[in-house]
Amino acid sequence: MPSFATQPPQPQHSVLSFPARHVVLVTLNRPRDLNCINAQGHADLDAVWQWMDEEPSLRVGILTGQGRAFCAGADLKEWNSSTSNNKSRAPMPASGFGGLARRKGKKPVICAVNGLCFGGGAEMIINSDIVIAASRALIGLPEVKRGVVALAGALPRLVRTVGKQRAMEMVLTGRSLSAAEAERWGLVNEVVAVGEKAKDEEISEKVVQRALAVAQEIAGNSPDSVVVSREGIKLGWEGIGADEATGMLNDTWVKRLYEGENIKEGLRAFVEKRKPTWVDSKL
């Protein structure tokens, strides 16, 4: 394991690994339960993403699943037990489902969708930054079929990604989209072709490797510029007007960006016709 300035968390239901410099890979590890996330799992992931944002050496996170599912949503068995016994459910962290739904973090997260992606799993990819999916992946919000509602931030955000009619179709029918259809709708960035007879491990490996290539491309850029550029996109996606969003970006981030070392290094490297050597972001 690389050395870090801060101690990594030890999640119970996911595994942390570090496949490349500046990148953390988070693998949901409840394959028998199709990686459904229970109360402890939400707390785990909230801690992981907070740690990634605070750890200076990390620049990008990747989320994937073990087995044939990426994430089939909430742990409905746990939910049913609480409902049947009239017990209150454990509170969701402020960052929402999987620590991603209402995350206020500053570093990008890529979802490597290796298989089934339903309910909260779909909400996580809607709220992530980049989505790479296996061609055999299925994506859906089937909450209406269970008498519940997708309340992790996906509904108002989905419409901004795929448009009203497609969002209505997806949410009100509860049907699943193929990876290819999700890509056409703009919900998935890229589909990785996998054979019909490919094993779960082979599928996961191919999707994660493609996600890792994208993560390394991001990590090779100025970490300061990535943080501020991502924030600018998020402001627009959240429905803030262009002028207001630009003003907020300037007031909150740009002064700190201009005072940092990476902007100086990037410009100096351009003039000197060499590859820049970035320092860990202090934003």
Residue 87 has pLDDT above 90, yes or no: no
Both tokens of residue 52?
């990634």
* Residue 199 resides in a domain: yes
* Residue 279 resides in a domain: no
Is 217 one of the annotated active-site residues of the chain? no
Q: Which of 87-96, 138-147, 211-220, 263-272 has the highest mean pLDDT?
A: 211-220
* Residue 278 resides in a domain: no
The pLDDT of residue 3: 87
Given the residues 65, 119, 120, 121, select the one marked as catalytic. Answer: 120
Domain extent, residue 235, equals 223-271
Helices (H), 174-199: 179-185
Given the residues 55, 61, 123, 154, select the one marked as catalytic. Answer: 123
* Residue 180 resides in a domain: yes
Task: Verify that 70 and 203 share a domain, yes or no.
Answer: yes
Task: Verify that 83 and 176 share a domain, yes or no.
Answer: yes
Is the CB of residue 178 less than 8 Å from the CB of residue 194? no
**Average pLDDT in the chain:** 91
Determine the Cα–Cα distance for residues 54 and 97; give it in Å rounded to an integer. 20
Is 190 one of the annotated active-site residues of the chain? no
Given the residues 143, 182, 211, 260, select the one marked as catalytic. Answer: 143
Is 143 one of the annotated active-site residues of the chain? yes
Task: Verify that 119 and 234 share a domain, yes or no.
Answer: no
Total domain count, the chain: 2
pLDDT, tens digit, 9 for 90 and up, residues 222-268: 999 999 999 999 988 887 777 777 787 888 888 888 888 988 888 89
Is 266 one of the annotated active-site residues of the chain? no
Both tokens of residue 263?
């902007």
Q: Report the 10 Å Cβ neighbour count for 132.
A: 29
